Amino acid sequence: MNLLLNLRTHLWTNAFRPFFLAASIHALVSILLWILILFSFLKPPSITGMISFHSYEMVFGFARAAILGFLFTAAQNWTKTVLIRERSLQVLFSLWFMGRFCWIDVPILSNVAFLSDLLCDGFGLYLLAPKLMQKGQEHNRVIVACYALFGIAHGLTILSMLQAIPSSLTLHWIHTSIFLVLVFVILIAGRILPFFTTVAVASASPKRIQKIETLTNYGSFLFIGAESVLPWLPDFQLAAGSFALIFSALQAARWFLWEPWKTRKTPILWILLLSYSWLVLGIFFYGLAHLGFFPLSAAFHIITVGAIGGFIYGMITRVSLGHTGRMISASKEIVFGYYCITSAVLVRVLFPLFGFSTVGYGISATFWILSFIIIIFKYWNILIQPRIDSLRK
């Protein structure tokens, strides 16, 4: 009875609650299903290829749920207004949830699910954009632009899956969407990590050089444009690879200025800075992949598992505590979860490089699943119960 009361009363008071919980459950279930498909225990959905199914769900299921949970929570602080709550939050979440049934082998049902998934983006923008586009929110308009581009890439992905445009473009648009998620990480990290470090580590003095910040943030959109529009031009691989290497060096300089080594005794912070280091390495090795010196799949998994997965994991553990009135400190179990998700990217990238792909996939998935079992177990009550400071009154 208390569980139902909490779900009805407290779960829908803020976007991070249902979306962080759903992102964590989805991360566990989707990778479990992927491994069962990969090892032939389940059949892949007939609507698309195995890789497209896996990639689509990790981007538009897992990552998007975390993005929506964070953006609507943060935007309420930025604008000092309530952007979403209860009924509107339930509608947005329902659209996202129905989208997870895209793969049902009944065309009319899968089409409705795809439409719901796309409407989730539209409704999210409808709620978010007006407040972030108004006067005084100029610095937040880039967030709206990024999410709008993400929605467009999502729509193009769906059209290619449904063969309304060439189906050969499906992975291209999914990859573009992955890079747009990476842009969210770049934008949000630049706003919060120096501040978090200053607050948490007395000896730290992280720096933000405006020229580097400008080049980093807006260079991200040049990177997206190059990767999404120009692949068919001659000598694209050389140009794109060179640009990625330069962009990686810029990100490395930014990360170094934040003095990440000083956060090693604060796990709930170092996991975020460690994830940003995966971003630096991921873009670097992606550049090498363009130039033919590194496997493309390994480079993408440094980005997706290490940078995006690790950053989302760290943000869920931190934001959920701070916005429910709890002390911002990682428990021993959560620290173990940090090690698990770090091990997931190391194994996923290194094992295939040495010829142990199948073993690597299984072990990496096990670490990933274990990390999210921990977060669900530790944060379930935190996300469905009222703020702890309200219980003390």
**pLDDT tops 80 at residue 150:** yes
pLDDT recorded at residue 143: 95
Residues in contact with 319: Cβ distance below 8 Å, sequence separation at least 6, in sequence order: 16, 20, 69, 70, 73
Q: Is the pLDDT of residue 5 over 60?
A: no
In a domain, 82, yes or no: yes
Which letter, b or e, does each residue of 10-23 get, where b requires 16 or more Cβ atoms within 10 Å of its Cβ?
A: bbbbbbbbbbbbbb
pLDDT at 158: 96
Examine residue 5 and state whether it is found in any structural domain, yes or no.
no
Is 6 within the bounds of a domain? no
Name the least confident of 179-183, 223-227, 265-269, 273-277.
223-227
Count of domains observed in the chain: 1
Q: What's the pTM value of the predicted model, to 2 decimals?
A: 0.95
pLDDT attached to residue 47? 78
232 — pLDDT class (breaks 50, 70, 90) = low
| 27 has pLDDT over 70 | yes
pLDDT score, position 282: 97
* 349, pLDDT greater than 90: yes
The answer to whether 71 and 78 have CB atoms below 8 angstroms apart is no
Query: Nearest CA to 177 among 121, 114, 130, 139?
Result: 121
pLDDT digits (tens, 9 = 90+) for 41-96: 988 887 788 899 999 999 999 999 999 999 999 999 899 988 888 899 999 999 99
Residue 165 pLDDT > 80:
yes
200: domain CATH number? Answer: 1.20.210.10
Higher-pLDDT residue of 139, 9: 139
Residue 133 falls inside a structural domain: yes
Mean pLDDT of 345-374: 97
Q: Which domain holds residue 137?
A: 11-388
Q: What is the pLDDT of residue 234?
A: 66
Domain-located, residue 302: yes
Give dist(CA 110, CA 161) in Å, integer: 11
Higher pLDDT: 392 or 144? It is 144
Q: What is the structure's pLDDT at 46?
A: 76
2 within domain boundaries: no
pLDDT at 382: 94
- Is residue 315 in a domain? yes
393 belongs to a structural domain? no
Mean pLDDT, all residues of the chain = 92
